[in-house]
Structure 1
Amino acid sequence: MEFSQTELLSFFTEVSPFVRNLVIGLFAFGEGLPVIGSFLPGGTVAILIGALSEKGIMNSWHAVHIIALGSMLGDLIGFYAGRNLNKVSWFKRFVHGENHRKKWDLFDRHTAIVIILGKLLPVIRSTPALFAGARRMNIFRYIFYVLIGSYLWAIAGVFAGKYIAQVAGDYIIPVIFAIVVVSILVAIVSRFKKSS
């Protein structure tokens, strides 16, 4: 059976809003998790949701809130994982050791920029949370910065998807799925190149 844009649209319209929101939120949550988030094409999915909102399937701002809050919750898991990793000796030496002091001092001075702008960079999107927790950053400052970054990322993705849908018309869904597949393949290939 051939997959078509109308089948995707009918799937999203036939599921309940709760299920649709849950799937979007879980994907955004996974995108915010350390390690896992590096493999998920979160930006592309935000663009897809923006394209679907252009088709009238859901409200754009509603999608932005779901994506931003889901991603932020994933980042908070990463933040607390970083705090707990301080108990592991090799990680503690890496984050608090004298050999890396200058690098971590730079991270500490520019944490806001790293967290906010890091949300916009696909491969490293989930790692600032881990290191902010490991460096024992104040949780309220962290939440403030990650909230800004998550909303910037969600707004950029959703409204880029809306714009691309207006320009590409009926070809938007196949184009976005092709981008998702290519971005997953690029992430896998780059991981294999680094390990070899």
Structure 2
Amino acid sequence: MVIRLSDWISSVIDALGPAGVGVLVALENIIPPIPSELVLPLGGFRAREGTMNVFLVWLCATVGAYVGALALYWLGAWLGYDRVYCLAGHKRFILASQKDIERGSALFDRYGSWVIALGRCVPVVRSIVSLPAGMRRMPMVRFSVLTLSGTAVWNAAFIGAGWALAERWKQVDHYMGPVSLVVVGFLLVGAGVLAWRRRHD
């Protein structure tokens, strides 16, 4: 499955260039089985080969991720928690399960709006974290800044790793997975400390 998926991702990127990277990353928000852990490193590798500009790859990926996140934000704002939760109970609703909705809302309650930036660095979570932001009617400017910040860092890291590993770009997740988890762990601890201080000030 991974081999077939990577071949399809490769064909899209080869056909559309940096725009293809942006389209795939946008779709990842709506169709989680499309992993940016494959899309971004391949974009970095293609840039190293000279077939694409690395800055355009990063820019298109960041814009694509923001567009996808924005779509989920407005969906959450339009439908509200109860309707989204009800839809998530149907098998045909591919965006998220009811457990995903509960998990995303719990993270939002615990860490506040900072979970938007942190969630962009966590597989699966980044595909659903925009829904609770929309449900809570989080200010658009704050949502945009946090989404773009987290997305920009995530994209730069994986595109850069794909550039560095070259032909071994498919192994990026093997190296970056543990690193991203450690980074997210530190960020979550920091967010927790800030939240605790605010409550006790």
**TM-score for the superposition, normalised by structure 1:** 0.65
Matched, 1:31 2:23: no
Q: Which residue of 1 aligns with 2:112?
A: 111
Query: What pairs up with 1:52-63 in 2 under 5 angstroms?
Result: 52-63=46-57
Change (3 A) 1:24 1:90: closer
Matched, 1:127 2:128: yes
Q: CA offsets, 1:48-103, max 9 Å, x none?
A: 111111111111111100001101000000000111221745739xxxxxxxxxx9
State the number of aligned residues: 149
Give the letter aligned to residue 118 of structure 2.
L
Q: Distance in 1 between matches of 2:50 and 2:84?
A: 50
Give the letter aligned to residue 46 of structure 1.
L
Give the letter aligned to residue 152 of structure 2.
Y
Q: Distance in 1 between matches of 2:149 and 2:132?
A: 18
Q: Distance in 2 between matches of 1:60 and 1:48?
A: 11
Q: Which residue of 1 aligns with 2:148?
A: 147
More displaced, 129-138 or 23-32?
23-32
More displaced, 21-30 or 71-80?
21-30
Larger relative contact order (C-alpha < 8 A, sep ≥ 6)?
A: 1
Work out the percentage of aligned pairs sharing the same amino acid: 28
Q: Distance in 1 between matches of 2:84 and 2:72?
A: 18
Q: Distance in 1 between matches of 2:22 and 2:65?
A: 8
Q: Which runs of 5+ in 1 are unaligned?
A: 93-102, 166-170, 180-196
Q: Which runs of 5+ in 2 are unaligned?
A: 1-6, 87-103, 174-201
Q: Which residue of 1 aligns with 2:170?
A: 176
Query: What pairs up with 1:2-151 in 2 under 5 angstroms?
Result: 12=14, 15=15, 19-33=16-30, 36=31, 38-86=32-80, 88=82, 91=85, 107-108=108-109, 110-151=111-152
Change (3 A) 1:51 1:106: closer
Q: Distance in 1 between matches of 2:37 and 2:105?
A: 28
Shift in Å, 1:20: 1.8
RMSD of the TM alignment (CA)?
A: 3.3
Structure with max Cα Rg: 1
Shift in Å, 1:140: 1.0
Q: Distance in 2 between matches of 1:62 and 1:76?
A: 21
SS state at 2:156 partner = helix
Partners of 2:72 and 2:131 within 8 A in 1: yes
